[in-house]
Structure 1
């Protein structure tokens, strides 16, 4: 049996696509942020494709309320998942989308091996020697919960499954584990998917989707972030394009109230299935890989490196140039 550990809406959709290929799978949906789904719709999909599932919105709250127990090896227990784990045999396969999120780590710690499925551009990040040394040192502390070498670099990780054919971006140190497996969204019924996301998939008719990202993680202020996306919207509008701003699930939609058209509440990747002709533009998002996609930077590493060199005004000039070259 294949077990899929999903921590957000996007990973849920990818797992559903894989579950339709083989009967008798098991889906664990344990979001690490507020990303609700229609449980009745998931039940319909599960019955159609013969797999089991569990929806759990509590795990991350329980961990947050028991931080000390979580950090100590073997001290934190979560019966709901322990009951599942005890039934995972050596012939079963565990699939996770991020081996650093807590729900994935809980399963990884208690099983022999796993495979990692691409979640985003982070899967193309290089893992430098200083990060590796840091992980080695932290894992030498006997009472601490193990910290996995991230993004497929753990010895427990057997395969890293990339869902887009971007071989040139795959880091050399995990290239021997990498396989390409395209996701076929057409295996899922659109009506079921629309119901799963509370009928959010009917986006405003548009020419371009602007994909936001929580770039404040890189030290950019909320105000500057809004100005960057407003610049993109205004530039596209002047060129005669109708755009929709697709808000990242980790972002507060209220900060984008000044934009003309806003969309949220579903994984952007589903637009490949609904409207593959729509262009997308992002700073470096992987969610538009496979679209008619335009990215200002090739990867998070590329973005971070350039942010150290570029002032905000130069960043804006770079964005304008990319739009002029592609629209």
Structure 2
């Protein structure tokens, strides 16, 4: 007897006599056939119907040609098939790598543009260099690279090693890499789609020959919470991030987004820098909070981080920045320069606490 033939017989054998609407095939749990011998196992939770089911099965199968019919019963319900389990989700941060020849990597970010993020980044780099550390500056703001201008490196040349590693030039003793150094002119726009941008960012992170090991690499991020920040968080090990803001409420709203983004990509937030915090009148020495009373310290406490420092509005900061000299180096006795030096001290302290 063929298996399909037996199955057809069992499917066509209804059990209406005992008040159920299914067939013997619905109760079948096992089936074995050897020549004209048939073995079946049926599901029946109660012995009440065993005799009836056995007689029914023997009758229909023997009438179809079976010489011997063996019927057994089980009270165990059918095992439900487990739905296929999705493969374990890979942690997107497991593949992060250290940037070669760099001890500490600091990302400088802002929730929105126009708050002086690059000014803070280049002056932090200059402050660390002034303290005797080996420092690099990586301009990751591909669409708006201002690092070469602010560090006086617009005319510097990027060279390469025989194995095609980029060698960054130096300015003020700081090694600098920026897409702005690779463009034909400072007026040339960067018109790249995502994949090209990510490839360039990856090369900047892992294919730069920084020479002697850097103590600190400052990465100047583009404003916002976009693809560059996410890509950076998933590919490179970053030791901490600074978020730059102004005292305005509209800027502080974006600080919250920035903190949450860094939390999601598992990058520690070292603290917040409040730029353009106040203005000191040179004639009277009176302090004016141009953008209103600061709420940054309150926000920092709310998000379990700290205010690293307040940088005042001083025209010299912008003037020296346009000349390519960080105010930390150009006018070290200025209030802004002193603020940046103190911020650098607090950053060093925060990083040492992580160890």
TM over 0.5: no
TM-score for the superposition, normalised by structure 2? 0.35
Query: Which structure shows the higher helix fraction?
Result: 1
**TM superposition score normalised by structure 1:** 0.37
Structure with greater proportional strand content: 2
